[in-house]
Amino acid sequence: MTTFGSFLRPMPSAGRVFLLSLLLTAANLLRAEPAAAVAETAFQKEDPYPQIMLLTNVMEILRDNYVDENKVTYERLIAGALRGMLRELDPYSAYDTPEEHRRNSDDLNGQQVGLGVMVRKNDYEAVKVMAVIPNSSAAQAGIQAGDWLVEVDGFSTLDATLEECMRRLSGPVDSEVQLKVYREEEDELHEVTVTRCAFARNSVPSNGIEMLPGGYGYIRIESFTSNTPAELDRALKQLNQKSMHALVLDLRNNPGGLLDAALAVCDRFLGASELLLFIEGRRESDREVFYAGDSTVKYLNLPLAILVNGHSASAAEIVSGCLKDHRRAALIGEKTFGKGSVQRVHQLNNAGAIRFTIAKYYTPSRNLIHGVGIEPDLEVELPEEEELPLKLLREPAGLRMTLEDGSEWNDTQLQEALFYLEKETGANSDR
């Protein structure tokens, strides 16, 4: 299996935003391992056995001498070795335990188990709740956007990594997790018990579809899952019925997902046979070119602006780069993250899996995105003191958005997108 997104990989920049219930990757391109023989190289002649013996020797030393015997079982030591081995290659290669692999597959099909919160985790800070999914177990327990998750079952999140926090927040359906929650306006800690539950989460949320004043449609895609194309189609149809004459597609804070879903989004806005994407890897079988099809409803003449920021990554960059290169959409906001590598998922005989990078992708103009990102057509930075709320819209209020807590927030990036579309269409919005 090959994956194109990373839903929960920690990004090296500050202000990383992630969905707790969405995990790391999922399948999109099924490829059998090539059977063809290749010319033997010095690399292939390298003798692995001395290094394998070294690893075995270290494991036995630890099993005989390490102070906590329960930490040096063969299963834990091998899992640790696999994690370290994959982590040594690049930030997106990793080992998933059987439970993690099962959750990954479920999550990218739109099914998740968790608390129902989106979070940010900076170094030396606790986990901050950025948004709470309506009717989730977290919402029912009273957790709010802006809360800090200081402890999880007695474990401090302050000095922990995001992955460590994830492991402790994750668990079986109907299991409970004890949280210590700090709320700044009250300046006190609350102890909260939350029951983990299974829920379906739309990649195009119900509060991410709006008709803004002046006939401008607004659609927010929060991730790319197998359900994204159908959800986008419903949103476009809904807005078309309200006489939409231009569209803002919001991909800010979208960390990626399935390649097929990203290509399907591009397909809605480009004519048949238009070039969408190059993939180039070490093997011939890992080199592909993708083109738009002709089997979907097209929106070829709909003026389009795409909002992006430094947390728009992977599949979100595929869409942004493709539509920018074709001059089909204007990118407005900040430079994207720069995650443009392809990971293959290989299931192991213990029901776990390894994910490793096999290729990089290029936009139609053959621009490499990995490590570079995509520059917007119109750079608009949010003021440093403002933080993009992930739950943007409850009710449209011109260019000031009413948030879930009743407060208002001025979205200057969206404002610029509407100015751009107004100029393109020659319309005057009611602002």
Amino acid identity of residue 246, one-letter, is A
Q: Which tokens sit at 316?
A: 């979100």
Among all chains, which residue has been given the structure tokens 């930030």? 91
Residue 312 CB: number of other CB atoms within 10 A?
Answer: 31
d(CA 309, CA 335): 6
In order, the DSSP letters of 216-258 are EEEEE---B-TTHHHHHHHHHHHHHTTT--EEEEE-TT---B-
Q: Which residues are bridge partners to 415 per DSSP?
A: none
- Decide the pairing of beta strands 176-183 and 148-152: antiparallel
In the block, residue with structure tokens 């190059």 = 278
3-class SS at 134? coil
Question: What type of residue sits at position 420?
Answer: Y
CB-based contact 186:402 (threshold 8 Å): no
User: What is the distance of C-alpha 207 from the center of its chain?
Assistant: 19
Give the span between the Cα atoms of 24 and 33, in whole angstroms.
22
DSSP alpha helix (H) spans, 175-225? none
Pair 119, 127: CB distance under 8 Å: yes
Compute the radius of gyration of the chain from its Cα atoms: 23
- Residue 198 CB neighbour total at 10 angstroms: 14
Quick check: helix, strand or coil at residue 70? helix
3-state helix, strand, coil in the chain (%, to 5): 25, 25, 45
Which of 169, 138, 220, 196 has its CA nearest to residue 391? 220
Output the CA angle 68-73-78, nearest 5 degrees. 120
Which tokens sit at 334? 């900040």
Query: To the nearest 10°, the Cα dihedral for 294, 297, 302, 305?
Result: -80
Q: Which residues are catalytic?
A: 314, 325, 339
